[in-house]
Amino acid sequence: MLEVSKLIDAKEYLSHHSVVLFDLDDTIYSEKEYVKSCYAEIACHYPEIKNMAKKLWDAFKRGEKAIDYVLQNEGLLSSENITNCLNIYRSHQPKIAPYPDAIKLIDQLKKDGCRLGLITDGRPDGQRAKIKALDIEHFFEKIIITDEFGSIDFRKPNTRAFEEMHDFFNTNYKDMVYVGDNPAKDFTAPEKLGMNSVCFKNSMGLYF
């Protein structure tokens, strides 16, 4: 496994593979910015709570169940308000942008003839909204959101998404490489299958 602190530093290594697969969250964009975008949208629906977005973010950073915590502190905790906030969180159109290095790398790899794919876990509606907001769909020949297989059991480190990519691109596993940021789950499956991998040591990542 190659480890890099800047994605662009992996360019030469990645270019030696015919297929490059990318993770999404905290690899192509900042998941912190996504969470902040969600909280900002929730706050718009609760103008009676002063500085709600900041209160949610501060609670999240402390490890609290942010929505429950803030609603309770503001005297608004109810199943209806919790459900409403969660629906806003999951369905809003996020205001996020890709990492400049990520786009530069992906664009260069595509121009160099590498075939590109994307594998990400998460609720399909939320992940599709992220992909749309980032305007990156056109870079990838195939995008797999593992939850669309029908169960969270197919999330990484399950091998199914990587096996489907292998079949789609019709190449050897050793000619494929996965780029991700989470050593706890991103690399188990590709390494088990004989793929190579690049770990983006994202110091600004949500769970770093």
Q: What is the pLDDT along the chain (208 residues), one digit of tens a residue?
A: 999 999 999 999 999 999 999 999 999 999 999 999 999 999 999 999 999 999 999 999 999 999 999 999 999 999 999 999 999 999 999 999 999 999 999 999 999 999 999 999 999 999 999 999 999 999 999 999 999 999 999 999 999 999 999 999 999 999 999 999 999 999 999 999 999 999 999 988 876 6
pLDDT for the residue 206 = 79
Q: What count of other Cβ atoms lies within 10 Å of the Cβ of residue 206?
A: 16
61 vs 97: CA distance, rounded Å: 21
pLDDT for the residue 33 = 96
What pTM value is reported for the model?
A: 0.93
Query: Which one-letter DSSP state was computed for residue 48?
Result: T
98 vs 206: CA distance, rounded Å: 15
Distances in Å between the alpha carbon of 132 and those of 28, 105, 126, 135, 193?
13, 19, 10, 5, 30
Largest CA distance in the chain: 58
For residues 4, 6, 9 and 11, what is the CA-based torsion angle, rounded to 10 degrees? 100
41 vs 53: CA distance, rounded Å: 8
179 vs 15: CA distance, rounded Å: 12
pLDDT for the residue 185 = 93
pLDDT for the residue 208 = 60
Instruction: Estimate the crossing angle of helix 31-44 against helix 52-61, to 10 degrees.
Output: 140
Residue type present at position 159:
T
